[in-house]
Structure 1
Amino acid sequence: MTADRDKAVATDVAEGVLKVMRTRGISSLPRNYELVYEFLNATNAALVRRFNALDKLPTQAQLDEVGRDFLPHHHGMSAVATANRGASAALKDLIGLFEQEQSGMRSYANLLDQSREKLSESGKASIEAIAHLANLLSSATGDTKKNGETAIRHIVESAEEIAHIKTELSEYKRLAAIDPLTKLANRRSFDERLANIFDSNGNSKSHALIVVDIDRFKKFNDTYGHPVGDSVLCVVSRVMKKCLPNEAFVARTGGEEFGIILEGVDQTTALELAEKIRLQTELTPLRDQRTGADYGAITVSIGLCMADDANNAEDLYINADKALYLSKGSGRNQTQTHSPRSEGRQRHKRLTGRS
């Protein structure tokens, strides 16, 4: 794909999303844009059916219900907001307790000052007055101690609540960054990680981007149904995690496409890992564990680009996608490397005769 073609496709998609939102009266909220985009992308048949079943002018509650069912991070972001509100409320209560205790201590200090003044005049005061003052101080001291103990207990409870909310918040953010089917990072996380490869001056370290696309994925869905298609995605995900080092970043970036970011590697190492994934995928059987049915071999096409061969994150992704596009056009089940120093690309042929 050329950069112009990518931009044209992106423009068409954006216009399509806006058109659907306008004609159906959908408000311009970020989560609504994402929902309509997934509907138009049509990679999830169940989501498409649910969206089509909505009223002609759906309410926000109806849209959010679909979003929560099919876009887990859609729900997660709402939960993050709830957790944030909970943390803010707990902190506000905690500050209130401190202010209340501070006010009580000021009152007690004032009482001590008044008592000191009266006791300094004890030669003129009656025994009854001194006894009354002693009782007053004793009562105030007891109340202050009791209030202090209560405040400490509330502070501990508030601190525990804040710690619990913080844990929930971290978990919601983690879930919002994960693809629910494959348990890999999702596109949002991938875009963030990709952008961090280059610093503000456009410099990058020894990084590699690998894009992987499952060959003839639509055939699996059309022939055997979406459950088998989901199994294919999970098989490829497991193969990638098995073949890659622990520090590699792996994400599901689209319907049947994945992105891998490798840090601190040279091109030879990156290519070896890409080929390892390709070969291991082809050798991994796809069978129904219940019936023993064999659905055939899974193959993947791969594109690779080193960060040194790109100007920025967008350029890096476009270059890797070009290499992937060439892999597809050259017969699939192979790895192509984008390399401007050797006429743009290097080809690595399949080790089998399968196309």
Structure 2
Amino acid sequence: MQNDASAAQQHHAAQRAAAGHDLLQKVAGYMAKHMIGGLPRNYELVHEALSGRHPGLARDFASLGQRPSQHDLDQIGLKHRLVSHCGLAEEKLQSETSSVLEKIAEQVSLGVLHKQTFARALETILGSIREDENRGIAELIAELDFLNAATGDLLHAETELGLKLKAGLQQIEGASRAVEAARTATEKDRLTGLPNRIAFMNRLDALYNQDVPPADCALLIVDIDDFRSINHQFGEDAGNRLLQRLATIFRKTIKKHDFVARVDGDDFAFLLSGVSSEDAFTIAERLHAAVENNLVFATEHGSTHGGLGLSIGFALCNDADQPMQLFAHAEAALNGARANPRQPICGYPLERHGRHIGRHVA
């Protein structure tokens, strides 16, 4: 029975790999046919459009016609907040901010020039008065009128400069908020609302960039068993709803200071702090039980299909010197869990964690 299950999982993995390869070839062929530039962001856009995961994006993409311009491609990527295009949004906003700052600098320079011109005029008039104390009242009044008019012009220019500076600062603040929103969008999974793989890797890197090496923390990776067949049997919309409900359960199950992200189509990763190997195993059991007890999916005839199968692998920071080494350890443990349906939770190294838990197998 165990060998059959393992063979079935290997077969499904091979099917996923073949489907992914076929889609990549389809993307490359489409881009060549329609003369779309080989930019990384274009590959992501075409991939998302052809994968069928985002109908709205696919419709917008199809409306571009045979040879879409780079500008039109980028507009669609920005509209649908693709990760590769959110960087473009940030660059654009930073460019706009730089332009505003340049205008402000010009306006300040002009204001300084006005003040310098007024000061020189004032010095000239005072100098002429000192040199010629016998000047007539009419001449003095004319010079005072000139100073009064120059003062009025200077005050008006100061008021205009103040308004322009205020407007410029408001524009910069707005651009700063937009940049932060764009940055947030690059680290958020659109479907589940959880942090995405980029956010997770940033968090993992930050963990290892501290002055003190990380300790007493663990990385868990959770994978849905045979999610491809669930999508095939019940449809992609049902699969997406399942992922959203799963994300909700995970969010409620972990502690506030722990971190969960969706790092792949049906893979979720957790960073747990202040835990030992036994704690990590216990938390994995709790996650597994929470999904079994709270998440079922129905067939098209309305009957219950059963609890959702999960495989969970975990590794400890104490056993890894680098972020990617920790991730590799957790993935190795996950592969061990996938290979043994009767023991769906494995730690790294596998021989260290011999506990066994049962689970419902549909």
Q: TM bucket by the smaller chain?
A: 0.7 to 0.9
> Secondary structure of 1:258's partner?
strand
1:58 Cα deviation (Å)? Answer: 6.0
1:92 Cα deviation (Å)? Answer: 1.5
CA distance change for structure 1 residues 163 and 48 in 2, over 3 Å: closer, same or farther? closer
Match of 1:44 in 2: 53
Alignment map for 1:107-256 (pairs within 5 Å): 107-199=117-209, 203-256=213-266
Amino acid at match of 1:263: S
Name the stretch that deviates more: 294-303 or 54-63.
Answer: 54-63
Cα distance in 2, alignment partners of residues 176 and 226 from structure 1 = 24
**1:112-145 CA distances to partner (integer Å, 9 max, x unpaired)?**
1112102213522111111111111111111111
**1:80-113 CA distances to partner (integer Å, 9 max, x unpaired)?**
2232222112212211111111010100110111
1:78 Cα deviation (Å)? Answer: 3.0
Name the stretch that deviates more: 315-324 or 113-122.
Answer: 113-122
Name the stretch that deviates more: 220-229 or 52-61.
Answer: 52-61
Amino acid at match of 1:349: H
Q: 1:95 aligns with which of 99, 105, 112?
A: 105
- TM (norm. structure 1) is 0.82
1:215 Cα deviation (Å)? Answer: 1.4
Match of 2:4 in 1: none
Cα distance in 1, alignment partners of residues 264 and 163 from structure 2 = 50
1:53 Cα deviation (Å)? Answer: 10
CA distance change for structure 1 residues 140 and 62 in 2, over 3 Å: closer, same or farther? closer
Cα distance in 1, alignment partners of residues 72 and 124 from structure 2 = 66
Match of 1:4 in 2: none
- TM (norm. structure 2) is 0.81
Size of the aligned set, in residue pairs, is: 337
Match of 1:261 in 2: 271
CA distance change for structure 1 residues 248 and 124 in 2, over 3 Å: closer, same or farther? same
> Secondary structure of 1:180's partner?
coil
1:45 Cα deviation (Å)? Answer: 7.7
Q: 1:352 aligns with which of 352, 355, 359?
A: 359
CA distance change for structure 1 residues 79 and 130 in 2, over 3 Å: closer, same or farther? same
> Secondary structure of 1:213's partner?
strand
Match of 2:14 in 1: none
Asked if the contact 2:343/2:358 (under 8 Å) is kept, the reply is no
CA distance change for structure 1 residues 63 and 333 in 2, over 3 Å: closer, same or farther? farther
Cα distance in 2, alignment partners of residues 54 and 169 from structure 1 = 27
RMSD: 3.3
1:351 Cα deviation (Å)? Answer: 3.5
Match of 1:106 in 2: 116
Match of 2:6 in 1: none
1:43 Cα deviation (Å)? Answer: 8.2
1:268 Cα deviation (Å)? Answer: 2.6
Amino acid at match of 1:95: A
**1:318-340 CA distances to partner (integer Å, 9 max, x unpaired)?**
1101111111110167211003x
Question: Alignment identity in percent?
Answer: 24
Asked if the contact 2:111/2:161 (under 8 Å) is kept, the reply is yes
Asked if the contact 2:187/2:196 (under 8 Å) is kept, the reply is yes
Asked if the contact 1:304/1:336 (under 8 Å) is kept, the reply is yes
> Secondary structure of 1:304's partner?
strand
Q: 2:40 aligns with which of 30, 34, 51?
A: 30
Cα distance in 2, alignment partners of residues 321 and 135 from structure 1 = 84
**1:133-167 CA distances to partner (integer Å, 9 max, x unpaired)?**
11111111111111111111111111112111111
Asked if the contact 2:307/2:360 (under 8 Å) is kept, the reply is no
Cα distance in 2, alignment partners of residues 159 and 71 from structure 1 = 27
Match of 2:328 in 1: 318
Amino acid at match of 1:299: G
Q: 1:72 aligns with which of 70, 77, 82?
A: 82
Cα distance in 2, alignment partners of residues 349 and 240 from structure 1 = 22
Does the alignment pair 1:302 with 2:312?
yes
Asked if the contact 1:336/1:346 (under 8 Å) is kept, the reply is yes
Amino acid at match of 2:359: T
Cα distance in 2, alignment partners of residues 233 and 333 from structure 1 = 23
Asked if the contact 1:299/1:333 (under 8 Å) is kept, the reply is no
